[in-house]
Homo-oligomer: A and B are copies of this chain.
């Protein structure tokens, strides 16, 4: 059973209560999105997800996409769902009003993204890619390109892609071979083959706008010779309607482990007409604008799948009767108790719950910083927010997708043998979530980005944007009678993080392989400390609410228990990570290649 109701109460907690003191709240341009409007948007989005996107999630996986006669068709129901999605204005939720969007803050938009990813990850990719393409185009495209393309992308009429990977190069884009020849009219003819192109072709929109990395004839070798081009599937006529086919199309669709309703294409560009986006040979930077947005979005995908996996597992754990509670029969009228009574089932459910709430809390913080980085009134705040987003982007991407996949696998485990059967719907979550640990830069690459770029950047300034509030909070609340004990545990893991940071800075300076050998453990450690900090803050708020009296006692009490579970059962792994980091690179690197 795929079960989903948008977790709106927890989303509102994160949006409205948890991060009010983070200094990122004073932003311009989002005045319309007060609590009532935001709640209404969350509720509408939740409804769409539950009623329109969820019902075609499993069928979409079973049916998959098909390539026939050079075009891809999406599974049954996807066209209608996409129409409803666009008619609701969801395609342009976060887009500037100038292009016809609603200019909603990221803090809200990411919550809506989480919902789409829960209800139908494959579906979510189509508008998701368009969103990323719009970000890159808005940041780097000429006014002409922006005015022509953005409005049609913001209303969902046209969609977007990002075409980076080629068969021989994914992570290492310096090797890419696709070529772009300048034409007299200022356009370019793009020629080459790409693989793994999400939404590379489909039947949801009348045109598809590809952003393609390619090399100019005189380009230097490596990553410094890559430029970005806008290449539409159909060349628009003067009236803006799609016209002549541009020889930019799919040659195959990939047979994947999951995410089968999302068309992942091998693409051929055969002298396809395109336009330069940004400056020549600066394509990678332009693409990274998109990629960084996408990396946070991919992290949210992990969270989204984690949430529906949790809800589906809870449903089954309450429904499935098997065995009796160790503390006495709980369902005397039935042949057995529901399996939610068993500690080991609880362990799995609470783990998923804590991951989801922890990731949502952290994602809410990062999203507020995203908004502040663009729109905070104070330049110092914009700068600090930019630092924080830079630091946390790889953490959100890698940590959330790892935990989302783990939650999906836990849901399968809760279902037991039934979870391994396709009809249960839960094994799809595990297959779908798996790609998020890989695409937009593998999680190993995220960890390298964190320790290799984000830590040393401007003498550790990124890191201070995170360490400072945590350290301040610990200082302020170490003696707090309500949360002092949790704060003590937080301090301990924070201490391990600080020592690890020192270890990496010191050893990595002499030998970059030492930093790289610590990277994955360090990212996880940092992420867990960040979640722990969010949980400790949540407890502070919950205790205050319960002390002053609230009609939502159950919500705040549950928050305290989930946080306690996180501190009891999940955060301890920080110690293991610290020990692993401290051990250095030797045993990882010593084995000669031929001995493998």
Residues of chain A touching chain B, judged by Cβ–Cβ distance below 8 Å, are 165, 168-172, 174-175, 195-196, 254-258, 314, 317-318, 321-323, 326-327, 335-336, 338, 340, 342-350, 353, 405, 409, 412-413, 416-417, 419-423, 427, 430-431, 434-435, 437-439, 442-444, 447-448, 511-513, 516-517, 519-520, 554, 557-558, 561-562, 564-565, 567-569, 572-577, 579-580, 583-596
Say whether B596 contacts A314, CB under 8 Å.
Answer: yes
Q: Is the CB of B565 within 8 A of A588?
A: yes
Closest to A348 in B: B444
Contact of A516 among B326, B554, B586 (CB under 8 A): B326
List chain B residues, Cβ under 8 A from A564. 586-587, 590
Q: A335-B175, A340-B593, A596-B318 are in contact. Are A438 and B417 (CB under 8 A)?
A: yes
Q: A343-B589, A574-B576 are in contact. List 20 more A-B contacts (CB 8 A).
A: A171-B416, A172-B323, A257-B422, A318-B596, A343-B516, A344-B520, A346-B591, A348-B444, A350-B588, A405-B409, A417-B439, A419-B438, A554-B594, A554-B595, A557-B595, A558-B595, A568-B580, A568-B586, A569-B580, A573-B576
- Copies of the protein in its oligomer: 2
Specify the chain B residue showing the minimal Cβ separation from A174.
B336
C-alpha spacing A422/B255, complex, angstroms = 6
Does B257 lie within 8 Å of A336, measured CB to CB? Answer: no
Let me know if B569 and A583 touch, CB within 8 A: yes
Q: How far is the CB of A405 from chain B (nearest CB, A)?
A: 8
Chain B residue nearest to A337 (CB atoms) is: B172
Bound-state Cα–Cα, A33 to B338, Å: 50
Residues of B within 8 Å of A596, CB to CB, are: 314, 317-318, 340, 349, 353
A322→B593 contact, CB < 8 A: no
When A336-B175, A344-B447, A596-B353 are in contact, do A422 and B565 touch as well, CB less than 8 Å? no
Give the Cβ gap from A295 to chain B, nearest Cβ, in Å: 15
With contacts A322-B169, A587-B350 known, is A257 near B579, CB below 8 A? no
Nearest-neighbour CB distance to chain B for A197, whole angstroms, equals 11
CA distance A511 to B325 in the complex (A): 12
Cβ B318 vs Cβ A593 within 8 A:
yes
Query: Please, which residues of chain B bring their CB within 8 A of the CB of A588?
Result: 343, 346-347, 350, 565, 568-569
Once bound together, how far apart are the Cα atoms of A442 and B342, in whole Å? 13
What is the distance, in angstroms, from A176's C-beta to the closest C-beta of chain B?
A: 11
Please determine whether A347 and B520 come into contact, CB atoms closer than 8 angstroms. Answer: yes
Are the C-beta atoms of A444 and B256 separated by less than 8 Å? no
- Determine the distance from Cα of A137 to Cα of B327 in the docked complex, in whole angstroms: 37
Q: Which residues of B contact A195 (CB under 8 A)?
A: 417
CA of A589 to CA of B327, assembled, Å: 11
Chain B residue nearest in CB terms to A313? B596
A412 near B427: Cβ-Cβ < 8 Å: no
Q: CB-nearest residue of chain B relative to A426?
A: B257
Residues in B with CB closer than 8 Å to A323 are 171-172
Contact A346 B589 (CB under 8 A): yes
Q: How far is the CB of A353 from chain B (nearest CB, A)?
A: 7
Pick from B322, B348, B422: contact of A171, CB under 8 Å: B322
Q: How far is the CB of A78 from chain B (nearest CB, A)?
A: 21
Q: CB-CB < 8 A to A348: which residues of B?
A: 444
In the assembled complex, how far is the CB of residue A203 from the closest CB belonging to chain B, in whole angstroms? 23
What is the CA–CA distance of A347 and B521 in the complex, to the nearest angstrom? 10
Q: Which residue of B326, B434, B439, B587 contacts A569 across the interface (Cβ within 8 Å)?
A: B587
Q: Are A587 and B573 in contact (CB under 8 A)?
A: no
Which residues of chain B have C-beta atoms less than 8 A from A587's C-beta?
350, 561, 564-565, 567-569
Instruction: List the B side residues contacting A430 at CB < 8 Å.
Output: 257, 434
For A314, the closest partner residue in chain B by CB is: B596
Q: How far is the CB of A168 from chain B (nearest CB, A)?
A: 8
**Pair A342/B591 contact, Cβ less than 8 Å:** no
Q: Judging by beta carbons under 8 Å apart, are B579 and A591 in contact?
A: no
Least CB distance from A348 to B in Å reads 8
Q: Name the residue among A416, A423, A584 with the largest chain B CB count within 10 angstroms.
A: A416
CB closest residue in chain B, given A594: B554
Most chain B beta-carbon neighbours within 10 Å: one of A409, A413, A444: A444
Contact A416 B576, CB 8 Å, known A421-B255, A512-B326, A516-B342: no
> For the complex, what is the distance from the CA of A376 to the CA of B175, rounded to whole Å?
62
Residues of B within 8 A of A444 (CB): 342, 344-345, 347-348, 413
Nearest B residue to A428, CB-CB? B257
Q: In the assembled complex, which residues on chain B have CB atoms less than 8 Å from the CB atom of A420?
A: 256-258, 434-435, 438
Task: Write the nearest CB–CB distance from A52 to chain B, whole angstroms.
Answer: 26
CA distance A568 to B591 in the complex (A): 14
The reply to whether A256 and B422 contact each other, CB–CB distance below 8 Å, is: yes
A431 and B257 contacting across the interface, CB-CB below 8 Å = yes
Closest Cβ–Cβ distance, residue A440 to chain B (whole Å): 10
Bound CA span A575–B493, Å = 13
CB A283 to nearest CB in B, in angstroms, measures 19
Decide: B431 and A413 in contact? CB cutoff 8 A.
no
Provide the residues of chain B in CB contact with A562, threshold 8 Å: 591
Min distance, Cβ A323 to any Cβ of chain B, angstroms: 5
Tell me how far the C-beta of A167 lies from the nearest C-beta in chain B, rounded to whole angstroms. Answer: 9
- Residues on B with C-beta less than 8 A from A423 are 255
What are the 3 closest A-B residue pairs judged by CB atoms, nearest first? A568-B583, A572-B579, A344-B444
Which residues of chain B have C-beta atoms less than 8 A from A575's C-beta? 572, 575-576, 579
- In the complex with contacts A438-B419, A596-B353, A347-B443 CB distance below 8 A: no
Q: How far is the CB of A435 from chain B (nearest CB, A)?
A: 5
Known: A165-B417, A171-B416, A172-B322. Contact between A585 and B343, CB under 8 A?
Answer: yes
